[in-house]
Each structure stands twice: as C-alpha cells, then as structure tokens.
Chains A and B, each alone.
Chain A
Amino acid sequence: MSLQSLSLGSLNLRIRKRVFNLFFNHRIKKNYCDQFEHFITYMIVLNMAGLVLEHIPVIYETREHLFHIFDVFSLVVFSVEYALRLYVAPEDPAFSSAKYPRLAYCKSPFALIDLASILPFYLGAFFDADLRVLRALRLLRLFKLFRALAPAVNEFLELNKDKSYRYKIYALVNETPTSGNLHHIFDMFIVTWVILSVLAVIFESVHSINYYLHSEFIILDGIAVAIFSTEYLMRIYSSPEDPKYKGWLLGRLRSASRPTSIIDLLAILPFYLEAVLHHLFDLRFLRVFRLMRLLKLARYSGATQSLFIVIKREWPVMKAAVFIMLLLVMLAACLGYLFEHEAQPDKFENIPQAIYWSVVTLASVGYGDISPITPAGRAITIVLALLGIGIFAIPAAILSSALSDQLRIERESMMTELYTMLEDGVISADEQELIEAEAKRLHLSQGELTRLLEKAKVEMGVDHAHEKDAKGGKPGKANTGEMSLEFLSKHPELAAEQLKITISKLQQIVSVSDRQELSKFVENPDNVTALQSSLLKLLLQHDGDKSKNKG
C-alpha cells in the first residue's frame, strides 16, 4: 500500500516537473513556454476584440451564439491555465521556497488577476448576477497582459537605470543593447496597430461595412493617430541619442527628413489636416493616404531594407536601363503618331496619346483600346512588342540578380561574424542569441543555420582542435566551455586538476564574501546539505585562519 502511494507520489512529482518544464520554465530554451505565453496573449487580445465587437449590434445580434462559444472556450483556456499554474507552483522558483507554495502562488498579484478574470463566471452559474456586470468583468482579462509586460518593464528599467530619460525613450523605440524585450513588445504593438488601421481604411471603403461601422472606424482611427503620433514624437525627441543625429535642432531635423520619419509623418498628417483644413480645401484624397501607414512596416522588415540597399546600389545601371526604355518609348510613340495619325486621328490624336499606346505595347499589357491599322504602324508594333520583352526585363533582371547578390553578401558577413565568434573556439549563449537573431533577419531556416555553423567550425578547425586536444591529453571543452564528465572520467589526472581549480575558485568566493552572512547561511539546514555544510565550514575556517595569520 505504502509502496503504491510512494510510486503514485513520485509519478505526480515527475508529471508536475515535466509540466512545469514544458510550459512554464523560462530557463529551458526548447520547450513550449514561449508558445504557451503567446497563445494566452493572443487569447487575451481576442477577448478584448470580442468585447468591443459585442457592442456593435450589427455584428453581435446575428452571431450571438459564436460569441458565446468563444467566451466559453476562453473561460476553459484561462481556467486550465490557472489550474496548471497552481499545480506546478511548488516547482516554480518564485514560490518553491515558501512553506505552502500553492498558497503563496494564490496570493501573488498575477494569480489574483487570473482568478478575478475567471471566478465571476463560475459564481454567476450559482448566483443570480447581472450579465452586464459579468461582461464588464471580462475587462479584467486585459490585466493578464501584465504577466508578459511587467518582467519586460522591469528588465528595461534595470538595463537603463543609469541612463537619461531621453535615452530610455530612444532605447524603447529603437533597437539598442539596452532595449531588451520591452522594445520587441513596443514594436509588436505598433505593427498590430498598423495592420488594424490599414484594415480599417480598406473596409471603410466598402459601403455595406462603413454604413454600419462608421462610428467604430472613427474611434479606431482616433486611437491609431494617438498611438502613431506619440511614437513619432518619441522618435523625433530621442533622435539626438543616435550619434548620426547629434544636435538638438539640426539633428532632429535631419532625423525628421529620413524616409522612415517622413512615412511616419504621412501616416498621421491626414487626420490633422482633414480636421483642421477641410473647410478650406478639398482634402478627401488624404483619406487614401492613411494607407501609407502600411509603409511603416518597412521599418520592421529586413527584406525591405535589403531591397532599398539593392536599388541604391544598382541605381546607375537601373538609370541606364530606364534611359534606354524611355528612348524606345519616345521613338515608338513618334513613329506610331507619324504612321497612324492620318488613319486614326481620334486614337492617335497627339504624341502623348501615342506614348500611352507605346508604353502599353512595350510592357506587353496590350489593352487593345488603341491599336495600329496601317501596315507601317503594325510593322512598328511587331518590332516594339519583341523589343519590349527584352527592354522591360532588364531592370527586373538587374534587381533580381542584385538582390540575390545582396543576400549572399549578408550571409558572408554573417559567416565573418561566426568566424570572429569562434576565435575562442566557443559560442557563448549571448553569441548564440545574436546568431539566431541575424539568421531570423536573413530568413535562414534552422537547418541552414546549423549547416553554416558546421561550415564555420570546420573552417576554423574548432572540431579538429577538440579532437587533437583529447588525443594529446589536453582537456576537451564542450560548447559551453565546461569539461565533459565523460572526458574527465577517462582522464583522472585532469579530473584532479579540475578539482584543484574548482577548490581555488571556492576559496576566492569565500574570501570576497561576507563571512558572517555565509556562516549564517550555512547554519540553516534548509539551505544546504550536510556535505555542503561541512565543506563550506572548512573553507570558512581556512579563510579565517589565513586572515589571522595575516593580521
């Protein structure tokens, strides 16, 4: 009986540890922790969107059952999340040291928020509650986002604690070594609003949608402008922190004249201009300019930046191709006008109309609204159509080959970085993160990245060096810089050396630490095992003797 309960208990412990490691342990890299958090975040955002949509009768009234199903589903998801967090609380380092880890978890602010977001609905099943109150309580789910936000804010403030206020703003809106995760959340927030506002502009043009959701689109646009204008002001204000834009006025002006800043400005300007000047000018066209917000996404795409670099680099060649194209268009238009004007004065009325015809023909579009009827005109069209295929293909070919060149260059520079990192034969965790970020920017798959890493290791002779070291009796190092236990088990003399080094390190730690605090820590049997206690006491005693001798 006791054996059975023991095995059940150990099974429970194993499951609990496994669940914690799988979904909640941030220290383990290859688990589902990030995915689980993202899923919960998306559910919260969807819940908020659902809450907003429920207040639009035209959407809610016909789909009430769908909203109800989604609500129940969300409730189940959040309940499961709460139950899982409660279950694994003894494994969580934040609560494991408490006497009652689960109680400690229940009392934590995040757990209270989690509970507040689900409890009213269970209570509502047993008590008569106003449904409107229950619906309003769903807003509490928004606070669940703090679970992701709070650590990022803390990390950001910690990283920037000695920096000026302006630098903090700069680090928030730009990628810097001290930006941390909060910058990514900020980027994500802006991208989400760009997509939302562009979708709103598109749907606003659909009469059947705009007819019913006109006011909602106005609210959405107002919020989007508030967010984008704040972002714009933050970028301009903090730009002197960038060494390229030093100077409180000139620097900011130079920063404001960057293409990305102009795009940012164009994304918000229509709102102000239309509101202020609509009585004086016809500014209806500005509404379409709100679609420029889509260009804001260019800032977040490495591929777009590569394309801009390519166009800039290949501009002289492109210019030549465009010049030849223009020459051909003009020549064909003049000849077309010459041969066709008399036969079709209504269609080839003047040279600008003939230019339209020649561009449509050269680009192989061929609308057919203007076509030659004279033999000479048709002969020109044949030549033009054949030339057009080649001429219009030149810029496309230049761009595509230059783009692949650019990608090759970027990969080569990444390889150079890899070589630099591998100079010490080891890739640290920070370096690994940098490599992964760069691989993501270059759209490299995990397989490709591994292949490049292997190639770099082979070329740097890192793997061979390890083998040689092992053969020559020198200690082999794994990627982490630690000697493998397997290696040490085969080389006792090295194991002894390693132990000596470790003991020296321990002595160093003891000598620089507060001895009284250490002794207090060692005295507590909850903190250390008996062996650890004896060892530490020995080290403390040795350190004490050394100090006395010195004295």
Chain B
Amino acid sequence: MGKNIQSLFRGMRVSDFFFLWVLFANLLLVAYLGIGNYQNGAKVATSQDNGEEIVAWFSSLAAKLEANEPIEPAACKPVDEENKFTKDVKVNHWKNCVEALFAAKGPFESYSNLLHPDGPAYSSKCNKKDLVTSGSFIFEKLTINPAGPPGISPMEPGEKLISGLNIRLSLCDTGYYLVKIGEFKL
C-alpha cells in the first residue's frame, strides 16, 4: 500500500502540482466561507434563544397583571380593552415599551443585534435594502381573522398597548428571511 501510494505521486508534472494547489486553495476558501456562515448561524441561534426569553417575558405579563404584581418597565403595562378610551387612564405605546425593554437597565439590555453590532436590536421590518436590519428582532401585530390566517402588520411605534393584543416575534436572518420565534398575547 505504502509503495503504491508513493507511485501515485511519482512523475507528477508542474500542471499536476498547480492543480493540487488550486484544489487546496478552493478547500481553504470553502472552509473560510463555511466558518463565516457557521459563525453567523451560531449568532442566529443565540438571537433565537434571546428571542425566546423575550416571548417568555411577555407571556408572563398576563400572569403578573392578574396577580397585581408590579410590571417593570411600567411603559409595557397594557390597559384593558374597555378602559382604553377612559380619559384618566394612561395608555402606553409600543415605542415607549420596546425602548424601555432594550434600554440600559431594561430586562433585555444585553440583547443586541449580533449579526450587525452597529444595527438596531429591533426594527419594524426585515428590509433587504437596509442591511443592518439583518439580525434584529421584528415585532409584528397579528390581527385575528376567523375566516383564515391572521393578518400581519408591523408594530407601529404609536400602537397602543391593549390587553389581548397578539404579537409575533421574529428574527431577521442573514438572508433577510423572517425566522419566527414565537407569539404572545398582551
């Protein structure tokens, strides 16, 4: 076997060596690009885990409200459907809530955009034209449609936080596809 293996490389020409170099260089390139892809994949997986934490936090809101426990940040406290037009009741808006969540000392302070550290941690749309939206969390409002699939629209900054509001959390991945993480109800 050893002798035979030696005979494999005997009488090699310059072109053969060049071919081997090309082969090796290609493997290096694939490894380099593959490692880059894998690192991005790992970041997406970490962001997914973070997203699950966010969904769990929002899902626990209803229980806290029922138990009359204080909600921190207060900007995320939803109001009841029947009180939303009452003058003395302060209605929170989505912009304030999400900013408070990701702000310093907020529960998700450490959750940043892992794919684009300079990009926003959350955004309203996964936008191919806005490269830095890749890696950000996307919150979408779900409007229940009894006749078919729910209607989906971006969570506008001025959206009022009303109890029972259905929200879907997704992640904008490397290819600008939405990776659905979970849904929750305020």
Q: A interface vs B, CB < 8 Å?
A: 150, 153-154, 157-158, 161, 164-166, 168, 207, 210-211, 214-215, 217-219, 221-223, 225-226, 229-230, 233-234, 237, 248, 271-272, 274-276, 278-279, 282, 284, 287
Contacts and interface: CB of A to CB of B under 8 A. Distances in A.
B145 interface: no
A166 B15 CA distance: 9
Contact of A218 (B8, B23, B26, B41): B41
Contacts of B23: 230, 233-234
Contact of B30 (A215, A226, A278, A284): A226
Give the top 3 A-B pairs by smallest Cβ distance, nearest first: A222-B34, A157-B4, A275-B33
Contacts of A221: 34, 37
Contacts of A161: 4, 7
Given A168-B8, A230-B23, A284-B177, A222 B30 contact: yes
B16 A153 contact: no
Given A165-B8, A166-B16, A215 B42 contact: yes
A222 B19 contact: no
Contact of A165 (B11, B29, B128, B174): B11
Interface in B5-19: 5, 7-9, 11-13, 15-16, 19
A225 B41 contact: no
B1 A154 contact: yes
Given A150-B1, A165-B9, A233-B22, A218 B175 contact: no
A211 B19 CA distance: 39
Nearest to B3: A157
Contact of B31 (A157, A217, A226, A279): A226
B4 A211 contact: no
B30 A165 contact: no
A167 to B, nearest CB: 11
B36 interface: yes
Contacts of B175: 274, 278, 284, 287
A525 B7 CA distance: 38
A426 to B, nearest CB: 34
Contacts of A166: 13, 15-16, 19
Contact of B1 (A153, A219, A276, A279): A153
A153 B30 contact: no
Interface in B48-81: 48
A223 B35 CA distance: 11
Contacts of B180: 207, 211
Interface of B: 1, 4-5, 7-9, 11-13, 15-16, 19, 22-23, 26-27, 29-31, 33-34, 36-38, 41-42, 44-45, 48, 128, 131, 174-177, 179-180
A272 B25 CA distance: 14
Contacts of B15: 166, 248
A226 B26 CA distance: 8
14 contacts: A153-B1, A165-B13, A165-B16, A166-B16, A210-B179, A214-B45, A219-B34, A221-B37, A222-B31, A229-B30, A230-B23, A233-B22, A237-B19, A284-B175
Contacts of A282: 128, 176
A153 B6 CA distance: 12
A24 to B, nearest CB: 21
A215 B33 contact: no
A219 B37 CA distance: 9
A157 B8 contact: yes
A225 B11 contact: no
Contact of B48 (A153, A211, A219): A211
Contacts of B48: 211
Contacts of B5: 157
Contacts of B44: 214
Contact of B26 (A164, A165, A233, A274): A233
Contacts of B16: 164-166
A169 to B, nearest CB: 8
Contacts of A218: 34, 37-38, 41
Contacts of A219: 34, 38
A279 B131 contact: yes
A275 B13 CA distance: 34
A164 B36 contact: no
Given A165-B16, A222-B34, A226-B30, A215 B41 contact: yes
Interface centre among B9, B13, B26 (most CB of A within 10 A): B26
Nearest to A218: B41
A248 B16 CA distance: 12
A225 B33 CA distance: 11
Contact of B36 (A225, A275, A279): A275
Given A158-B4, A218-B37, A230 B26 contact: yes
